[in-house]
């Protein structure tokens, strides 16, 4: 989530949706637990690192207070003890939100008057989630019993979920590059032992798609490739998107390889099929071009006999090859049989 960091030196005691919070006390608590981790004896105890991670998590959530998604504006003002005059309406896509600004956070209410997003505008400890993940990972590396392992896994899962939530908020706000970074962090947290999530591939896919939308192709390419490493294919879409990345990066051979690989695994994926046909039409010439295109089209027709455009493209290729008119005409007619409006 994109935050506006204020100078912590100027913040001492603030009023949040919890009530009054002693910011310096929170910071002192984190600092004392960090120092304990650096102690040669205490630093070898997993419990020390777990305590440090938990203090960082508390510091991360502190600005948000006890507000919860789905609550009403009256409930929020009841927590604070007053109704803010700092209000505005904003549009994101087709959705309109009323934004209420209180100390430390902006609260976004949807058209039904329910709290939909909470965006902190201050951080008591910068990069608290990153540091908490490192602390949990360090604790696990020291060797833990089943009880502590379960506690560490739960903490890491919470970090992953928080990054995912922040990524979704950034996506809603149209901050696609930020959303990509957050989705990737959620994925990396989910890969961190001892937590294991089955959604890692989807998280990397979301990170890749956000980078792709943000037109950061150099970032999107390795993220899509990571999805393939994890055998997460999104019904073939990964191959098609990765091919687009290679095309944009000028890697023609890689583009061909990934499309052919994708077509072998997902012969019914229309996006892969169309991309591969277009690739051959643009990059090959003569009989080689025609034969490869016809091979792809015939495979595609076998798997998708009701796609009219396939017969149309095949007819065009046959025409270019000088195929007898009756065969070309029969192919075009088949196109009309499948879809009379084509």
- Looking at residue 119, its pLDDT comes to 93
Higher pLDDT, 244 or 304: 244
Q: How many CB atoms lie within 10 A of CB 281?
A: 17
Contacts of 224 (CB under 8 A, 6+ apart): 205, 208, 212, 238, 241, 242, 245
Q: Determine the Cα–Cα distance for residues 248 and 292; give it in Å rounded to an integer.
A: 23
- Looking at residue 318, its pLDDT comes to 82
Over residues 93-122, mean pLDDT: 93
Q: Tell me what percent of the residues of the chain surpass a pLDDT of 90.
A: 64
Over residues 75-93, mean pLDDT: 90
Give the pLDDT confidence of 255-292 residue by residue, as tens digits. Answer: 999 999 999 899 878 889 889 888 887 886 766 777 78
Contact predicate 23/9, CB 8 Å:
no
Give the pLDDT confidence of 300-316 residue by residue, as tens digits. Answer: 888 778 888 888 888 88
Residue in the structure block whose two tokens are 């990524």: 167
214 has a pLDDT exceeding 80:
yes
- Looking at residue 282, its pLDDT comes to 82
Over residues 174-196, mean pLDDT: 96
- Looking at residue 103, its pLDDT comes to 84
pLDDT category of residue 13 using cuts at 50, 70 and 90: very low
- Looking at residue 11, its pLDDT comes to 34
Contact predicate 180/214, CB 8 Å:
yes
- Looking at residue 286, its pLDDT comes to 66
33 has a pLDDT exceeding 60:
yes
Over residues 232-249, mean pLDDT: 96
pLDDT category of residue 20 using cuts at 50, 70 and 90: low
Contact predicate 149/168, CB 8 Å:
no
3 has a pLDDT exceeding 80:
no
Higher pLDDT, 21 or 114: 114
Q: In sequence order, what are the beta bridge partners of 107?
A: 100, 118
178 has a pLDDT exceeding 90:
yes
- Looking at residue 6, its pLDDT comes to 27
Contact predicate 121/23, CB 8 Å:
no
CA dihedral 212, 218, 224, 225 (to 10 degrees): 170
Over residues 207-211, mean pLDDT: 98
- Looking at residue 5, its pLDDT comes to 29
Closest CA to 238 of 256, 225, 253: 225
């Amino acid at each position: 989530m994109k935050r506006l960091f204020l100078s912590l030196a100027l913040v001492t005691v603030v009023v949040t949706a919890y009530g009054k919070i002693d910011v310096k006390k929170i910071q002192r608590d984190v600092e004392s637990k960090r120092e304990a981790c650096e102690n040669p004896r205490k630093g070898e105890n997993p419990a020390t690192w777990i305590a440090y991670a938990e203090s960082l998590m508390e510091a991360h959530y502190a600005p948000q207070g006890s507000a919860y998604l789905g609550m009403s504006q009256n409930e929020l003002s009841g927590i604070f003890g007053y109704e803010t005059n700092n209000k505005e309406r904003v549009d994101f896509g087709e959705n309109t939100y009323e934004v209420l600004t209180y100390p430390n956070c902006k609260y976004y209410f949807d058209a039904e008057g329910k709290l939909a997003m909470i965006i902190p505008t201050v951080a008591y400890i910068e990069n608290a989630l990153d540091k908490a993940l490192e602390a949990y990972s360090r604790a696990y590396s020291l060797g833990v019993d089943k009880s502590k392992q379960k506690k560490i896994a739960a903490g890491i899962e919470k970090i992953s979920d928080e990054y995912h939530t922040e990524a979704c908020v950034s996506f809603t706000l149209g901050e696609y590059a930020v959303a990509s970074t957050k989705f990737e962090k959620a994925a990396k947290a989910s890969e961190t032992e001892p937590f294991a999530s089955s959604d890692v591939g989807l998280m990397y896919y979301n990170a890749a798609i956000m980078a792709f939308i943000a037109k950061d192709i150099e970032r999107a390419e390795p993220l899509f490739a990571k999805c393939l490493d994890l055998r997460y294919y999104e019904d073939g879409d990964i191959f098609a998107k990765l091919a687009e990345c290679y095309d944009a990066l000028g890697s023609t051979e890689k583009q061909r390889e990934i499309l052919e690989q994708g077509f072998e695994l997902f012969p019914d994926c229309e996006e892969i099929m169309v991309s591969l046909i277009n690739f051959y039409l643009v990059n090959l010439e003569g009989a080689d071009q025609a034969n490869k295109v016809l091979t792809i089209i015939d495979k595609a027709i076998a798997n998708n006999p009701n796609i009219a455009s396939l017969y149309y493209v095949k007819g065009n290729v046959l025409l270019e090859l000088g195929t007898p008119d009756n065969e070309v005409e029969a192919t075009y007619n088949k196109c009309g049989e499948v879809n009379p409006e084509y």
